[in-house]
Amino acid sequence: MPRCGVLGWPVRHSRSPAMHEAAYAALGLEGWSYQLLPVLPDLFAETVRALPGAGFGGANVTIPHKHAALALADDATASARAIGAANTLTFSADGTIHADNTDAPAIVDALPFDAAGARVLLLGAGGTARAALWALLDAGAADVAVWNRTRARAEQLTAELGGRVVDDAVEADLLVNTTAAGLEAGEDQFDQLPLAREAVAGYRCVVDLVYGAGATDLVAAATAAGVATVDGLEILVRQGARSFERWTGQAPPLDVMRSAARG
């Protein structure tokens, strides 16, 4: 049976193995396994090309390899090419490497309402923001305003994919944070973001792709204000579910995967 795993450096913090192994067990997929694959950037291409021969059917890809994953693939989905990064690799029996980006649709999958027609404030302009912007525009968002600490990066991103650049927080239905603000324990997330804690109450939903042991300041403030929230672990579950379905051909047991990721 196929082996699967997650490629990254570092990758020991990943909750993907627990999530996928729980899903295999829930569906009785005996012989399937999922493991951590810590790989230095210089060895990434060599390692990935060796995986099919070692019995791997697929692999997720995390920092810092998502751009390299797309570059070495033999073919890729239109979304992965548009985003410029891949987080899911599927290996054919003949060794062909297929690349996809399940990060993008995962963000839309996790929303509590349809993104079509929504106004969005997107914080950040890195690789994750690129996936989010593409996904939200593809889903029919009416307006995506992009803020980034370095304005030039936001200008480059919107020039390539769409949306508009803003220098401060704006009114919107949906607030999406893709910056690293809140990643370090003990820091005040709002010190690094262009909005005050009380302003969170003005959004219908807050999505924070940062996750850790507990709720981020942004998610905690939204919850306290009665605003719907989506945290980084839910995005992890949703992108993992899409990878799982691609590799196994089975409908993913979302509740099982969610419980394992949060456990």
Q: What's the one-letter identity of residue 77?
A: T
Which amino acid is present at 113? F
Confirm whether residue 178 is marked as ligand binding: no
Residue 34 marked ligand-binding: no
**For residues 19 and 45, is the Cβ–Cβ distance under 8 A?**
no
Task: Report whether 15 belongs to an annotated binding site.
Answer: yes
232 among annotated binding-site residues: yes
Q: Which of 65, 66, 130, 242 is catalytic?
A: 66
66 is an active site residue: yes
Q: Give the residues across from 121 on adjacent strands.
A: 145, 175
DSSP string for 65-130: -HHHHHHH-SEE-HHHHHHT--SEEEE-TT--EEEE--HHHHHHHH-SS--TT-EEEEE--SHHHH
- Residue 239, annotated as binding a ligand: yes
Place of tokens 């810590």: 38
153 among the known binding-site residues? yes
152 assigned binding-site residue:
yes
- Residue 47 DSSP code: H
Binding residues for NADP(+): 148-153, 209, 232
Binding residues for shikimate: 14-16, 62, 87, 103, 211, 239
Q: What are the residue numbers of the active site?
A: 66
Binding residues: 14-16, 62, 87, 103, 148-153, 209, 211, 232, 239
